[in-house]
């Protein structure tokens, strides 16, 4: 029997690209989205067999709704083999501005809290079964803070460290935790960027590499590997030099979701 993968943020970007890669690999799909119609239209355009997939409507920031669709997924399709927390949003913030404080919280709620709510319904059942994979999608933005992107960077640092802690907790019970760290991937989230994005990957190519790393049980993988080298070099820069090079870029003016 084909495996079952549960993917959040499946209405566009990385989440949708991962859904297509898993479908092509013969997996059944359980997809979360706020925009259910977008997922239904995409599935129809790809000619997906209705018996091979289902979509569940919820906002990842709503823990009650996420727990509900987790139960619905298990009841309707079974306990997933792999769960991927992929929903994400990037919005520029300036925390000197009162109106940006709710925006900061929105980014944290979607990117970090949304990872927690995605995993929660499946952790205990996977541990009881003694198998499963929980996958957090972070970002190279977790490596160092970027001016104007404090909320996004903070949320992705949180994803990295949360997944590491969860990996230690779940390992004795047979459940693997994988952290995927994308560099630049061509999605609606990066379309707004007005600066150079080295080693850009198409979403399909990223998803192909990510699927291989996930199903190999790799604990932590930067994709593409070149961005991992760049990130490590940035981490090694002395603060004085880093500040001189990267100060004052300001915040993004628009939001995007994957």
> Which are the catalytic amino acids?
152
132 - beta bridge partners? none
- Within 8 A by CB and 6+ apart from 11, the residues are 33, 34, 35, 38, 39, 42
Q: State in Å, rounded, how far the first CA of the chain is from the last one.
A: 30
Q: Kindly write down the DSSP assignment for every residue of 157-194, as one continuous string.
A: HHHHHHHHHHHHHHGGGT-EEEEEEE--EESHHHHT--
How far is 36 from 39, CA to CA, in rounded Å? Answer: 5
- Within 8 A by CB and 6+ apart from 229, the residues are none
Any idea which residue has 């996930």 for tokens?
Answer: 214
DSSP 112: I
Alpha-carbon torsion angle 17, 21, 27, 32, nearest 10: 0
How far is 221 from 142, CA to CA, in rounded Å? Answer: 13
DSSP 219: S
How far is 139 from 182, CA to CA, in rounded Å? Answer: 5
Q: CB under 8 Å, gap of 24 or more: what pairs does 97-102 form?
A: 100/251
């Amino acid at each position: 029997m084909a495996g079952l993968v549960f993917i959040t943020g499946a209405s566009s970007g990385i989440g949708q690209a991962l859904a297509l890669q898993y479908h092509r690999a013969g997996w059944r799909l359980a997809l979360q989205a706020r925009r259910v119609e977008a997922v239904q239209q995409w599935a129809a355009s790809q000619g997906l067999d209705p018996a091979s997939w289902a979509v569940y409507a919820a906002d990842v920031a709503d823990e009650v709704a996420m727990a509900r669709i987790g139960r619905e997924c298990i009841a309707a399709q079974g306990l997933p083999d792999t769960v991927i927390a992929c929903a994400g949003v990037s919005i520029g913030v300036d925390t000197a501005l009162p109106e940006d404080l709710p925006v900061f919280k929105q980014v944290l709620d979607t990117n970090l809290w949304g990872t927690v709510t995605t995993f929660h319904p499946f952790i205990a059942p996977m541990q009881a079964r003694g198998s499963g994979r929980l996958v957090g999608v972070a970002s190279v933005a977790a490596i160092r803070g970027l001016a104007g992107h404090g909320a996004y960077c903070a949320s992705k640092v949180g994803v990295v460290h949360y997944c590491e802690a969860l990996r230690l907790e779940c390992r004795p019970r047979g459940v693997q935790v994988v952290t995927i760290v994308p560099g630049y991937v061509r999605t609606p989230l990066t379309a707004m960027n007005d600066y150079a994005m080295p080693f850009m990957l198409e979403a399909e190519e990223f998803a192909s590499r990510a699927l291989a790393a996930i199903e190999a049980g790799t604990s932590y993988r930067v994709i593409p590997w070149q961005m991992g080298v760049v990130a490590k070099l940035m981490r090694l820069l002395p603060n004085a030099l880093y500040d001189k090079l990267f100060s004052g870029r300001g915040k993004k003016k628009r939001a995007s979701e994957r």
